[in-house]
A and B are shown apart, each in its own frame.
Chain A
Amino acid sequence: MIAETRAEARDAAELVQVEYEPLPAVVDPERALEDGAPIVHDDFGTNSCYTWKLSAGDVDEEFGNASVVVKERYRQQRLIPNAMEPRGVIVQPFPATGELTMWSATQIPHIARVTLSMVTGVPEAKLRVVAPDVGGGFGSKLNVYAEEALALVLARKLGRPIKWIETRTEGYQATIHGRDQIQEIELAATSEGKIRAVRAKLTVAMGAYLQLVTPGVPLLGAWLYSGAYDVVAYDFECTGVFTTTTPTDAYRGAGRPEATYAIERAIDALARKVGKDPVEIRRLNFLREFPKTIASGLTVDSGDYDAHLDAALELLDYDAVRKDQAERRERRDTKEVGIGFSTYLEMCGLAPSRILGAIRYGAGGWDAATIRFLPTGTVQVLIGTSPHGQSHETTFAQIVADQLGVGYDEIEVLHGDTAVTPLGMDTYGSRSLTVGGIAVYKAAERIVEKARKIAAHQLEVGEDELAYDGGRFTANGGALTTKEIALQAWTAHNLPDGMEPGLEASYVFDPENFSWPAGTHIAVVEIDTETGNVDLIRYVAVDDVGKVINPDVVAGQIHGGVTQGVAQALWEEAVYDDDGNLITGSMVNYLVPSAAEVPSFELGSTETPSPTNPLGVKGVGETGTIASTAAVMNAVVDALSARGVTDIDMPATPERVWRAVKEVAS
């Protein structure tokens, strides 16, 4: 319905009578694979979308020889991303030129432009996509949506601007969801608890249709089901399944929180089986020499897992919390305490283009930056990544200020406008610093190289005679600053023979490897066994994200990521009824946590610089979410394990916890 005001459009929509013919629903991916299940797409004759396998080493032999086998089954409930800004799109047509400008609350203006051009037939060069300050994404805006294409087509057809703003309920129903998978994981181990092999099998709901990355999301975790642990054999299998639900796609962590959850829960189950402390069993299994090619085939860049585990234990005062736990049990306290670990390993910084090609992604994983010195000595940094809360303006300006020796406030970082920035691959997968930030760094190096040539020419010395520090070239008592050189490059009155005027440089960076953050997260919960209520009372996180450019930005990413992961463990769950109706359709019954539900976080850090990029940085946007869900659920199980509880489904609501406690008591 198109109208001049929101109220008119709503009224007009009410005049439309729709007769629906209900089709049979199937909302559960395992049920959808059973004989006789309703088929979502009749053409296919099956709900199985694909099966993807990865295998290395002799897994069967390892399981045959294993003294101990742990077999676990976990459910990753469906989640709703809940960026605070709903999606929205405005398209302004310019009929005289045939150009169209789209403002969209998207994470991916560049990918949206090429995709929407292909969908609508608007020539790519006539389409400008602007993603201004975008209010959060978490993967939900890493997509190209029907409303964007519709607004584009309608604006072109009507020759008038078109605006569409999503309501929250529309967002819950039609913006992508996350997770929704059944995980079966098996560990083959020695009697001491040394893991030899991992076997993981996933059954994942795709929803009714595939969105941008739907089938690829669980595969982003395909290499990580052995976690931070050294194993010799590895087997992974994932089956994507059509269900009559909203499509799943990338939600913060995308495949890696799921993998981390499975291995971190399973290693705790193994610890219980062989009678070891969760700390001890992790130390027994850690990867220790880097770079290390892991069983699944990728190479971990760097790390020191004992270091972050030690730091986290000290921050927590582990022995004191265990003592409190024992004393409560001793006095039969109805409030139990549980301690949960997650010593995660993550791969992020999407991505080496060749690897994306190998798993049949439709695009590369590089990114770009252009740095332009203006005549007055201020600097524009144009980036191909597209922030929506990650502080690129701050971090990237720091990188440039350091290299060019100009004031932080004299640097303007511009992003999110395809008419302004170089072609880029946008922001997701903790890639902005490790890919886009390196492009910025390398472009700044090129500026300095050119400035050095101009300085040498004007000071009449050899380039290698020049010292460079803090934006100032010096030699033989003469000096020129980068700002002075910028003006010289602009006037071009006195440049070396044959040199192009201007002081501007670009770089496109394609990473040679992923980056591999790791860390130790420890959750402490207090569970009221009479009500089932779980209270997260402490949360310790020690992360190694390589070199840190801005500690406040990094801490902020971890705080927010942790909270989203905690929310999966304790509160959030998207639920469909058997007829396929979403019954958690608003913030009233889908429980996004408030400040009252979470504690202050206790953060520490260790640092092993990544050897695969010149800044030594690793990604941080998703670490918190990847690590925290497992830590919290391990804490919940740890609190109740002495009573005989070994598993609780997520979210660990008071009802689920209370029932679990009652069940083992009876």
Chain B
Amino acid sequence: MLAPNFPGRKEDAVRRVSITVNGAEHDLDLDPRELLVYVLRERLGLTGTNVGCDTSSCGACTVLIDGESVKSCTVLGVQADGQEITTIEGLATNGSLHPVQEAFKDTHGLQCGYCTPGFVMATVSLLRETPSPSEEQIRHGLEGNLCRCTGYHNIVRAVQQAAGVGV
């Protein structure tokens, strides 16, 4: 097993940060190299945010930072200090799904579901910026997220339905 003086353990480099996640404030001691996605998943137990690639290509880890969609595998936890983060777990209110979540469900906009939290968060952000997008705007607006199951057809329908109800 590991030697106690392991070179990766730089306790003196740990930084205290304060991050608000889904409305709750968390004071955390973070290793500077910890990615935000692992802070969310492993420190806070918010495993709805998924990791799909190593190269910020797939968007499975998309969350909102101060309302804008960000790939949380490309953000260091310490960079989120003082910011407000919304994850997929923070969208439903009083047990009711967010209209974007409802729309993905209604239109069969997911199959295996692994990319879905990222797509939902990216859609929330897209509709905030462009409330009534054309199909082309939807397709280009979501091109940072990859899905291997749906061929995107029903994801586009989901975004259209969500836009129709005015998110």
Chain B residues numbered 101-146 whose CB sits less than 8 Å from any CB in chain A: 108, 111-115, 135, 138-140, 142-146
Does A560 contact B33, Cβ atoms closer than 8 Å? no
The A-contacting residues of B in range 33-54, CB under 8 angstroms, are 33-34, 38, 50-54
Q: How far does the Cβ of A574 sit from chain B's closest Cβ, in whole Å?
A: 15
Asked if B100 is an interface residue, CB under 8 A from chain A, the answer is no
A569 to chain B, nearest CB (A): 14
Residue of B at shortest CB range from A3?
Answer: B2
Would you call B149 an interface residue if the criterion is a C-beta within 8 Å of the partner chain's C-beta atoms? yes
Residues facing B in A381-425 (CB within 8 A) are 388-391
Question: B154 an interface residue at 8 Å Cβ cutoff?
Answer: yes
- The answer to whether B142 touches A595 (Cβ under 8 A) is yes
Report whether B57 and A588 are in contact in the complex, using a CB–CB cutoff of 8 Å.
Answer: yes
Assess whether A563 is in contact with B114, with CB atoms less than 8 Å apart.
no
Q: Among the listed A12, A85, A168, A598, which residue makes an inter-chain contact with B152, where contact means beta carbons less than 8 Å apart? A: A598
Q: Per DSSP, are chain A's interface residues mostly helix, strand or loop, or mixed?
A: loop
B90 adjacent to chain A (CB < 8 Å): no
What is the size, in residues, of chain B's interface with A at 8 Å between Cβ atoms? 44
Q: Is the CB of B112 within 8 A of A556?
A: no
A556 touches B108 (CB 8 A): yes
The distance in angstroms between the C-alpha atoms of A136 and B108, with both chains bound, is 16
Q: Which residues of B contact A390 (CB under 8 A)?
A: 111
Known contacts A595-B155, A596-B139; is-contact A135 B8 (Cβ 8 Å): no
- B150 part of interface (Cβ distance < 8 Å): yes
Give the Cβ gap from B153 to chain A, nearest Cβ, in Å: 4
Contacts A587-B53, A588-B57: A138 and B1 contacting too (C-beta < 8 A)?
Answer: no
Taken together as a complex, chains A and B put the C-alpha atoms of A560 and B1 apart, in Å, by 45
Q: For the complex, give the distance between the alpha carbons of A136 and B138 in Å.
A: 24
B135 touches A600 (CB 8 A): yes
Residues of A552-568 whose CB lies within 8 A of B: 552-553, 555-556, 559-564
Q: Which residues on A sit within 8 Å (CB–CB) of B8?
A: 7-8, 10-12
- Tell me whether B112 and A12 are in contact (CB under 8 A): no
Q: Are A586 and B53 in contact (CB under 8 A)?
A: yes
Main secondary structure of the interface of B (DSSP, over half): loop
Q: Specify which chain A residues have a CB less than 8 angstroms from the CB of B162 in the assembled complex.
A: none
Instruction: Report whether A6 and B150 are in contact in the complex, using a CB–CB cutoff of 8 Å.
Output: no
Task: Let me know if B55 and A587 touch, CB within 8 A.
Answer: yes
**Once the chains are docked, how many angstroms separate the CA of A555 from the CA of B57?**
27
* Closest residue on chain B to residue A557 by CB atoms: B111
Nearest-neighbor residue (CB-CB) of B31 within chain A: A7
Q: A2-B1, A564-B148, A594-B143 are in contact. Are A85 and B114 (CB under 8 A)?
A: yes
Taking CB atoms and an 8 Å cut-off, the chain B residues in 13-42 that contact chain A are 31, 33-34, 38
Q: Do A553 and B54 have beta carbons less than 8 Å apart?
A: no
Chain A, residue nearest B58 (CB): A587
Residue of B2, B111, B138 touching A12 (CB-CB under 8 A): B2
Asked if A120 is at the interface (CB within 8 A of a chain B CB), the reply is: no
Cβ of B85 within 8 Å of any chain A Cβ, yes or no, is no
Q: Does A512 contact B (CB under 8 A)?
A: no
Q: What distance in Å separates the Cβ of B37 from its nearest Cβ neighbour in chain A?
A: 12
Interface residues of A in 75-122 (CB under 8 A from B): 82-86
* Contact yes or no, B153 A559, CB < 8 A: yes
Residues of A within 8 A of B150 (CB): 556, 559-560, 563
B60 within 8 A of A: yes
Contact of B112 among A388, A559, A594 (CB under 8 A): A388
State A6–B2 Cα separation when bound (angstroms). 13
Query: Could you give, for residues 57-89 of chain B, a 1 whenever the CB lies within 8 Å of some chain A CB and a 0 otherwise?
Result: 110100000000000000000000000000000
Using a CB–CB distance below 8 Å, which chain A residues touch chain B?
2-4, 6-8, 10-12, 15, 82-86, 133-136, 138, 167-169, 388-391, 552-553, 555-556, 559-564, 586-588, 592, 594-596, 598, 600-601, 624
Closest CB pairs A-B (n = 9): A135-B114, A389-B112, A11-B8, A563-B151, A587-B57, A559-B151, A389-B111, A595-B152, A596-B143
List the interface of chain B (C-beta within 8 A of A).
1-2, 6-9, 31, 33-34, 38, 50-55, 57-58, 60, 108, 111-115, 135, 138-140, 142-156
A8-B9, A562-B151, A595-B152 are known; give 11 further A-B pairs, CB within 8 A: A3-B1, A11-B7, A83-B114, A135-B114, A168-B53, A390-B111, A556-B111, A559-B153, A563-B152, A564-B148, A594-B143
Q: List 15 A-B contacts (CB under 8 A).
A: A6-B38, A83-B148, A84-B114, A85-B50, A85-B52, A135-B112, A388-B112, A389-B111, A559-B154, A562-B151, A592-B146, A594-B152, A595-B145, A596-B139, A600-B153
